[in-house]
Structure 1
Amino acid sequence: MKVLVTGGAGFIGRWVVKRLLDHNHSVWILDDLSNGSLKNIAEFENNPNLNIVKGDIKNQELLQQLFLNQYDLCYHLAASINVQESIDYPKTTFDNDTIGTFNVLEQCRKHNVKIVFMSTCMVYDRASNDNGIKEIDPIKPTSPYSGSKIAAENMVLSYFHAYNLPAVVIRPFNTYGPFQKSGGEGGVVAIFIKNSLNNKPLYIYGDGTQTRDLLYVEDCARFIVKAGYSDNSNGEIINAGLGRDISINELAKLIVKDESRIQHVKHIHPQSEIQKLLCNYEKAKHLLNWEPQVSLEEGIKKTEEWIKSDI
């Protein structure tokens, strides 16, 4: 197939691209490199099936040109993903995550290309029990990031219903692993591991009782790719996660072993914190025959080995 991956030079994007290339598809990456990096995809640069285009999903002329390649499938991963930045600069996040998605959708509609839209678990309200969050559970936009993603989700699903465009919304839970940035906000596992290796304190926002369902990146990429391949996914919203949550306090202890190096600091955006994130992935199992294969302990070990090799 011919496949477009927006945001393909990003952390999750590069694993999706790797999987698609392993399956011998012709892959185009569109990335403005604001969040992604050519370093992430350096190992594929000599692959004759890979085409790299530096550009922005807000550039409609560029998208029109690209879609002349007659893609079979579009994985739309490009987005602004930083919660605090969305609070500080909501227009940037809305322009990238909602309007950018609309631009990609329009081209998919004109050329009848299936779109896999990467949303986020951050659209949900907190998990109310230990059965995990299902796709039909309440959503709660607590930041412009989650608000922009919900708006884009609704547009994607509207194109499925209005135009019969093959489209799926995916909501992976907190993804971690090799190639994730270990600075700034977002990659809690990568940040903790790097600080642990560098004998620095592990800083936790708030009291650390908030929980996360941590999904290893290769499991996440396998899920994303499967959602594109399967007709069962069309018109659906589908979660993916480990099905196990861990408090940030427990995660820090798992990584650093020495509790004296764990420090709690004031939360920068407590209003946008989700206290309990736990995924119910039964729908992905049923529709896509997908389930996670890498345990949290194994995933942390693999991530630590990669960070060590990159330091």
Structure 2
Amino acid sequence: MNILVTGGAGFIGRWVVKRLAEDNHRIWILDNLSNSSMNNLKDLQLIYPDITFIAGSITNNHLLESLFANKFNICYHLAASINVQDSIDDPKTTFENDVIGTFNVLEQCKLNKTKFVYMSTCMVYSKALNKEGISESHPTCPASPYAAAKLAGEQLALSYYYAYGLPVTILRPFNTYGPYQKQNSEGGVISIFINKKLMNETLSIYGDGSQTRDFLYVTDCADFVVEAGYSENTKGKVINAGSGFDISITELAKLIAGETGTIKYVTHIHPQSEIQKLLCDAGYSQKLLGWKPKVSLTHGISLTEEFLKHNADWR
């Protein structure tokens, strides 16, 4: 197939592109490199000849029009402003990228009858209330302009499904981690902690560390994203992906630091946007796709640490 991946040079995008390339598709990547790097793609471009990179923004309609002349079968839309604090400081930029940019891509998908797979986030949810975790019907709570923009993008995409019959799929992966994640990413706590450990530095925790997260290894996330795009069962659906296991940030820090590491607690940068408990109920994605995560948290941490030990560019 001909496939477009917006944001394909980013952390998750890189792994989605890798999986698609392994499946022998022709892939175009559109990325403005504001949250990503060409270093993420170097090894893939050497191995897979059918990857075309275009530097540019989803806010550029003329570029999108020319790009969609390639008649894509699927568009995986991962491009976005993703930093919560940036969205609080500068909501306009987040709105323009995550809402207006999404509208621009949707318009081209509608004109060209291209399936649209939208990467949303677990940050749209309110906190988990029980041990079963958060299902797709769980209440949403846009506690930041980033979460609000993602919810707006979801609703806009679904309106194209209902109004125009455009095949649309909405994905809400939980906290993804693994090799190639940026060290300054708010969601990259595992990579940040591992890097601090490798440098014999103190691991800093925002708040009291009791907040929990459901961590998903990046290859499991990429498999979920790709399979959701392939499937006919996902049209018009909102789908979670997570491990079904949450861990407090304090326990995570102890797991990574080990007995010899040190931990300290610091003032939270945006406590008003903190979700206290994130735990995924991924039963629906398992039912629709037969998808289950393969990499445990301890194994994923080990794989990420090995990567960071041998790749100084990401430390």
Opposite residue 81 of structure 1, the aligned amino acid is I
| Residue 28 (structure 1) aligns with | 28
* C-alpha separation in 2, matches of 1:75 and 1:164: 18
Opposite residue 43 of structure 1, the aligned amino acid is D
Native 8 Å contact 1:117 1:169 kept in 2: yes
Opposite residue 263 of structure 1, the aligned amino acid is K
TM-score by length of 2: 0.98
Native 8 Å contact 2:4 2:27 kept in 1: yes
| Residue 310 (structure 1) aligns with | 311
1:272 aligns with 2:266: no
% identical equivalent positions: 59
Native 8 Å contact 2:40 2:180 kept in 1: yes
Opposite residue 173 of structure 1, the aligned amino acid is F
- Unaligned 5+ segments in structure 2 are none
* C-alpha separation in 1, matches of 2:65 and 2:260: 54
Describe the SS at the equivalent of 1:45: helix
Describe the SS at the equivalent of 1:231: coil
1:36 CA displacement: 1.0
1:185 CA displacement: 2.2
Opposite residue 137 of structure 2, the aligned amino acid is I
* C-alpha separation in 2, matches of 1:258 and 1:151: 44
1:193 CA displacement: 0.2
* Number of residue pairs matched by the alignment: 311
| Residue 57 (structure 1) aligns with | 58
The correspondence of residues 181-196 of structure 1 with structure 2, limited to 5 A, is: 181-196=182-197
Opposite residue 38 of structure 2, the aligned amino acid is L
1:45 aligns with 2:45: yes
* C-alpha separation in 2, matches of 1:245 and 1:276: 8
* C-alpha separation in 2, matches of 1:211 and 1:280: 14
Native 8 Å contact 2:83 2:185 kept in 1: no
Native 8 Å contact 1:4 1:30 kept in 2: yes
Describe the SS at the equivalent of 1:294: coil
Describe the SS at the equivalent of 1:237: strand
Q: After the TM superposition, which segments of 4 or more aligned residues of structure 1 sit over 4 Å from their partners?
A: none
Native 8 Å contact 2:177 2:218 kept in 1: yes
Opposite residue 3 of structure 1, the aligned amino acid is I
* C-alpha separation in 2, matches of 1:183 and 1:123: 21
Describe the SS at the equivalent of 2:244: coil
CA RMSD after TM alignment: 0.8
| Residue 123 (structure 1) aligns with | 124
The correspondence of residues 98-137 of structure 1 with structure 2, limited to 5 A, is: 98-137=99-138
* C-alpha separation in 2, matches of 1:308 and 1:260: 17
* C-alpha separation in 1, matches of 2:79 and 2:191: 21
Native 8 Å contact 1:253 1:259 kept in 2: no
Query: Which segment is superposed worse, 163-172 or 257-266?
Result: 257-266
* C-alpha separation in 1, matches of 2:86 and 2:31: 19
| Residue 295 (structure 1) aligns with | 296
Query: Which segment is superposed worse, 125-134 or 177-186?
Result: 177-186
Which string of whole-angstrom CA distances, capped at 9 and with x for unpartnered residues, describes residues 177-221 of structure 1? 000012342200000000010001100000000000000000000
1:260 CA displacement: 6.0
Opposite residue 114 of structure 2, the aligned amino acid is V
Describe the SS at the equivalent of 2:215: strand
The correspondence of residues 125-274 of structure 1 with structure 2, limited to 5 A, is: 125-258=126-259, 261-274=262-275
